[in-house]
């Protein structure tokens, strides 16, 4: 196995507002895009030839990863102009595909051990894993090491084998795709024709974000395995415990209190007298002003957080400005998303390039869209759509 085809064309509708201007595969988890975890897993298994199928906001993927040189791989790009399914996405790469290759979804966090069982496959194979909540995935049945059926999103299914959307294929898979748009349907057709598909079990990492608040869970799981590293400057009087990573160019002002795991990107400024608590990541170029408190939150790149602000269980997307005394407390709530109700423990999720004047309080579970402006001393009690002006 010396080639991987990575499907990275999707949008991630249920993750809005975070995917309003950014593909799901580029959402930061532990200060790295989700797609980077996939590519690092491929590299760690010795694969150096990678094809990435792009689509929604493709330029963000291409600008970030380029030729792949920084990861030690060679990346070629093809485009799926209409995001109508995984089989259709794979079909775009048929001219570049070799005799044997791995196919991976780019929107799940994995590690090297996750895909290692597929490395020795010489024909069609599917990676499967036992999952407690299988209702939103493809549930797999197998016999004597072969797949016998795949049932997509069965509803209330629990503790079952599910398809991870990671495959080994030979080039003749393109002969079977035809007009099918989804890979599970292609595999069902293979099974009906009697073509064997091996089932490869894995116990490696496989993490999926379906809704915006899932980003918090993934971020915490990734940071739980992080190691402390200090490349920035820490002033006298800073107290730190646990694994804390501070990247180059960042400065932690006197009086700050940090409890890891915490990850701080490049060229950031924190404090003075601010507190960062576990499972918090802060992206490049972000400023956390004096007397702030941030707990279990994902703060993206180029954000300004005004003095005396409080953030708990919250996600703030790139380029947003939070005025002084901004507050987002966390509690158990029922969140409205995509016309459905979902229980979650969260503060808020704020989209890209929003501007909040001082004294704004956001009620737990409220989602704020992209490019919004909120006047000072407002209480946000319901979801705010993209481009809104709250006065």
| Annotated domain spans of the chain | 3-210, 225-390
- pLDDT of 290-337, one tens digit each? 999 999 999 999 999 999 999 999 999 999 999 999 999 999 999 877
Nearest to 336 by CA among 382, 390, 387, 385: 382
Share of the chain above pLDDT 70, in %: 97
Q: What is the dihedral of CA 332, 334, 335, 339, to 10 degrees?
A: 170
Whether residue 192 has a cis bond before it, omega within 30° of 0 = no
**Residue tagged 């979804």 (tokens):** 105
Cβ-in-10-Å burial (0-12, 13-18, 19+) of 272 comes to middle
Share of the chain above pLDDT 90, in %: 84
- Evaluate the CA torsion angle 377, 382, 383, 389 in order and state its sign: negative
CA 260 remoteness from chain centre: 21
Q: Cα(first)–Cα(last) distance of the chain, in Å?
A: 58
pLDDT band at 159 (very low <50, low <70, confident <90, very high): low
Instruction: Look at phi and psi of residue 248 and say left if phi exceeds 0, alpha if psi is from -120 to 50, else beta.
Output: beta
Is residue 154 pLDDT above 90, yes or no? no
- pLDDT of 227-267, one tens digit each? 888 999 999 999 999 999 999 999 999 999 999 999 999 99
pLDDT band at 130 (very low <50, low <70, confident <90, very high): confident
Element (H, E) at 163: strand 158-170
- pLDDT of 88-101, one tens digit each? 999 999 999 999 99
Residue 38 is predicted with a pLDDT of: 97
Residue 265 is predicted with a pLDDT of: 97
Residue 211 is predicted with a pLDDT of: 92
pLDDT band at 152 (very low <50, low <70, confident <90, very high): confident
Where helices occur in the chain by DSSP H, the ranges are 34-44, 58-65, 86-91, 112-115, 173-177, 183-193, 214-223
Residue 43 phi/psi, 5-degree rounding, is -60, -45
pLDDT band at 151 (very low <50, low <70, confident <90, very high): confident
CATH code linked to domain 3-210: 3.90.550.10
Is residue 150 pLDDT above 90, yes or no? no
Lowest mean pLDDT among 106-115, 145-154, 263-272: 145-154
Q: Decide whether 3-210 matches 225-390 in CATH topology.
A: no
Spatial separation of the C-alpha atoms in residues 282 and 316, rounded to whole Å? 10
Is residue 142 pLDDT above 90, yes or no? no
pLDDT band at 338 (very low <50, low <70, confident <90, very high): low
Q: Are 287 and 266 in contact (CB under 8 A)?
A: no
**Residue tagged 């491929």 (tokens):** 42
* Mean of pLDDT over the chain: 94
In the predicted model, what is the mean pLDDT of residues 17-42? 96
Spatial separation of the C-alpha atoms in residues 183 and 1, rounded to whole Å? 20
pLDDT band at 341 (very low <50, low <70, confident <90, very high): confident
In the predicted model, what is the mean pLDDT of residues 154-165? 75
Nearest to 4 by CA among 56, 57, 44: 44
| Domain covering 225-390 assigned CATH 2.160.10.10 in the classification | yes
Of 297 and 13, the structure prediction assigns the larger pLDDT to 297
Residue 136 is predicted with a pLDDT of: 73
Residue 178 is predicted with a pLDDT of: 87
Is residue 156 pLDDT above 70, yes or no? no
Is residue 59 pLDDT above 70, yes or no? yes
Spatial separation of the C-alpha atoms in residues 65 and 16, rounded to whole Å? 23
């Amino acid at each position: 196995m010396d080639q991987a085809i990575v499907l990275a064309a999707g949008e991630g509708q249920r993750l809005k507002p975070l995917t309003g201007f950014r593909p799901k595969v580029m959402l930061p988890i532990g200060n790295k895009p989700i797609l980077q975890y996939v590519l690092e897993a491929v590299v760690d298994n010795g694969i150096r030839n990678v094809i990435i199928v792009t689509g929604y906001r493709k330029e963000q993927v291409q600008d970030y990863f380029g030729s792949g040189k920084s990861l030690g791989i060679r990346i070629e790009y093809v485009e799926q102009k209409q995001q109508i399914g995984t089989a259709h996405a794979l079909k775009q790469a048929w001219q570049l595909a070799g005799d044997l290759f791995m196919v991976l979804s780019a929107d799940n966090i994995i590690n090297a051990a996750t895909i290692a069982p597929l490395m020795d496959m010489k024909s069609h194979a599917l990676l499967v894993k036992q999952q407690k909540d299988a209702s939103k995935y493809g549930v797999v049945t197998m016999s004597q090491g072969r797949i016998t059926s795949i049932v997509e999103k069965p509803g209330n299914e629990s503790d079952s084998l599910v398809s991870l959307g990671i495959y080994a294929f030979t080039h003749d898979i393109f002969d079977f795709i035809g007009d099918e748009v989804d890979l599970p349907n292609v595999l069902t057709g293979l099974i009906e024709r009697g073509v064997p598909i091996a089932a490869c079990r894995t116990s490696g990492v496989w993490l999926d974000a379906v809704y915006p608040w899932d980003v918090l869970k993934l971020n915490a799981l990734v940071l739980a395995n992080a190691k402390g590293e200090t490349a920035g400057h820490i002033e006298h009087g800073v107290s730190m415990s646990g694994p804390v990573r501070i990247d180059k160019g960042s400065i932690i002002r006197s009086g700050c209190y940090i409890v890891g795991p915490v990850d701080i990107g490049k060229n950031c400024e924190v404090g003075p007298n601010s507190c960062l608590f576990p499972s918090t990541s802060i992206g490049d170029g972000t400023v956390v002003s004096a007397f702030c408190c941030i707990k279990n939150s994902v703060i993206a790149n180029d954000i300004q957080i005004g003095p005396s602000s409080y953030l708990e269980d919250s996600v703030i997307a790139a380029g947003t400005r939070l005025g002084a005394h901004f507050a987002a407390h966390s509690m158990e709530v029922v969140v409205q998303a995509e016309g459905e109700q979902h229980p979650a423990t969260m503060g808020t999720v704020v989209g890209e390039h929003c501007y909040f004047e001082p004294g704004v309080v956001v009620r737990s579970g409220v989602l704020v869209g992209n490019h919004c402006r909120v006047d000072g001393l407002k209480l946000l009690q319901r979801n705010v759509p993209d481009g809104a002006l709250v006065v």
